[in-house]
Each structure stands twice: as structure tokens, then as C-alpha cells.
């Protein structure tokens, strides 16, 4: 739940940084900071800094590329959308994770009320999308169809990364794996940024520096490492389902910091999301 709260501020903090810097460059910078954080994490955890076998390097390389693809689409999408849309569409990855584990992999069994909980939470997300769409002109950030489509793709890629992380942590220590996930992703993001974006030497305001520290250290560092640590001990659906709380935090912060309007529809949608979390987490059972 603590990481859910931190994830909720991710979109807002990114928006403040991208007010001053190009989007994909911001993605590279945040994961460069995350790499520094993971060096300290590995030292504290006792994880090695180097991967010694081929299977481990293969997993780290795939995770690094998935990290690049997910963050690149996230950064481009958020540049053409607002905080509410970002938190909702990216966190739709929970639906893909649940679909894979429950109906394809069949390692997790949902009772009918848990499936109903997913539907209720999804309906709440839909209400929030409709609400934020109708009030997008009142916020600091303009919503576009292009931005929303790119953010939806980012959510799908994030689901693939969550599922693959569950597999990858069997071949390398968690801290080491996330360290190289960050380094590889950051390098690819910087390559894209310097090749495709107009990067000018400017001094960002204090809000951008704080936002960069937040998304780089607290989100890309602590949250990603914590998520991998949780996935090593629990099913992907058990971990991912809590992210339904992230849109609530994100929308609240969007209202407070980016000018989104609070309304009765927004409150009703939040109630659906919270109810969906409660129902989905009732008696989640593993088959194997």
C-alpha cells in the first residue's frame, strides 16, 4: 500500500518535470537516478552488482528493453494527456495480468465475486476517464486521443514486464536484476532522447528538480525494487491488484496540483475502485 501511494504521485511529478524538459529525456534521467539508488540497494541487500550467467543476462536484457518501451510510451503519452488519464490508462495493466494468470496460465483461481470486483473497479476507471475527459480543458494539461492510445499501450507493456519479472527473478538476484533493468533502460532512453528530441541547456525550476527526485529515486528506484521483491514472494495478480488504489491517489493529486475538477462522478468512481479492491482480494487462492 505504501508503494501504491508513491505510484499515485508518479504522473503528477512527471508532469512537473516535463514542463521544463523533453519527455523521453526525463525518462532517461529518472532511471539514471534509479540506477544510483539500486547500487545502494544492492549493497544494503547484499546482492552482487554483476550477473554471472547467460540466463541472467538474457533476463536482464529483456527487462531493460521492456523498461525502455514502457517508459518511452509513458513519457510520450503523458506529454499529450493529463494526470487522471495517465494514472488510469497505465494502471489498466492489472486487467492484462489478471487475464494472463487466471484464464491463460491458470495459476490463480478467482471466485465469482473477485471477477465481479475486477469489473467494478474497471467500471470505476471508465467513469474516471469519462469525468476527466469532460473536464480536461480546466486542467493544466490537454488531453488528446493520441496520448491516451500511447498510454494504453504503455499499460499493456507494463503488464508484460510484470509477468516477465515474475519469471526473471528465478535466474538472478532481485536487486541485481532491477539494477541492470534500470541501466539498460536508461541508456536506451537517452539514445532515443538525444537522437529525436530537442534538448536545450536550461536550468529547471525547483518543482522540476523535486519531481525528478521523486520519479527517479522514490518511484523508479524504491517502488520498482519493492515490486520485484514482492513478485518473488507472491503471485503477480496478488501484487498487481493493489494498483487499483493508484488511480485514486493520482486523481486526488491531479485535483490538488494540476487543476482537475472534483465532482460527484469522480467520488462515485473512486468508490467503485475501492469496492473492487475489496472484492478482488477476498479469498484469492492459488491452485499450484
Alpha helices in the chain (DSSP H): 2-8, 10-18, 23-45, 54-79, 83-90, 93-98, 112-134, 145-168, 174-196, 206-213, 224-231, 236-240, 245-257, 264-280
pTM for the predicted model, two decimal places = 0.83
Count of alpha carbons within 13 Å of 83, Cβ hemisphere only? 31
> 108-117, 134-143, 150-159: which range is least confident on average?
134-143
Domain residue extents for the chain: 2-12+20-286
Contact 77, 151 (CB under 8 A): yes
Contact 89, 152 (CB under 8 A): yes
Rounded Cα–Cα distance for residues 74 and 221 (Å)? 17
Report pLDDT digits (tens) over 95-111: 788 778 787 877 777 78
Report pLDDT digits (tens) over 77-93: 999 888 877 887 887 78
Reported as a pLDDT band with limits 50, 70 and 90, residue 40 is very high
Query: Which of 137-160 are b and which e, b meaning 16 or more Cβ less than 10 Å from the residue's Cβ?
Result: eebebebeeebbebbbbbbbbbbb
Provide CB contacts within 8 A for 196, sequence distance 6+. 24
Amino acid at each position: 500500500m505504501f508503494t501504491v501511494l508513491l505510484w499515485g504521485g508518479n504522473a503528477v511529478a512527471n508532469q512537473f518535470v516535463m514542463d521544463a524538459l523533453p519527455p523521453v529525456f526525463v525518462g532517461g534521467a529518472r532511471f539514471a537516478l534509479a540506477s544510483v539508488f539500486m547500487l545502494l540497494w544492492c549493497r544494503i541487500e547484499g546482492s552482487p552488482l554483476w550477473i554471472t550467467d547467460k540466463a541472467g543476462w538474457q533476463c536482464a536484457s529483456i527487462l531493460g528493453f521492456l523498461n525502455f518501451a514502457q517508459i518511452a510510451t509513458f513519457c510520450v503519452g503523458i506529454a499529450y494527456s493529463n494526470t487522471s488519464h495517465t494514472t488510469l490508462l497505465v494502471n489498466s495493466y492489472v486487467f492484462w495480468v489478471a487475464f494472463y494468470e487466471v484464464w491463460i496460465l491458470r495459476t490463480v483461481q478467482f471466485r465469482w465475486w473477485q471477477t465481479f470486483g475486477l469489473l467494478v473497479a474497471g467500471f470505476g476507471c471508465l467513469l474516471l476517464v469519462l469525468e476527466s475527459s469532460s473536464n480536461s480543458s480546466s486542467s493544466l494539461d490537454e488531453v488528446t486521443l493520441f496520448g491516451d492510445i500511447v498510454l494504453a499501450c504503455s499499460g499493456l507493456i507494463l503488464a508484460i514486464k510484470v509477468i516477465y519479472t515474475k519469471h526473471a527473478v528465478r535466474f538472478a538476484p532481485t536487486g541485481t536484476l532491477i539494477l541492470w533493468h534500470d541501466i539498460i533502460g536508461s541508456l536506451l532512453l537517452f539514445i532515443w532522447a538525444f537522437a529525436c528530441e530537442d534538448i536545450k541547456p536550461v536550468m529547471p525550476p525547483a518543482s522540476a528538480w523535486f519531481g525528478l527526485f521523486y520519479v527517479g529515486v522514490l518511484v523508479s528506484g524504491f517502488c520498482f525494487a519493492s515490486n520485484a521483491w514482492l513478485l518473488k514472494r507472491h503471485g503477480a495478480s496478488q501484487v498487481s491488484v493493489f494498483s487499483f488504489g493508484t488511480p485514486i491517489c493520482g486523481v486526488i493529486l491531479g485535483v490538488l496540483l494540476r487543476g482537475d475538477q472534483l465532482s460527484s462522478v469522480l467520488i462515485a468512481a473512486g468508490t467503485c475502485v475501492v469496492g473492487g479492491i475489496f472484492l478482488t482480494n477476498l479469498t484469492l487462492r492459488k491452485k499450484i
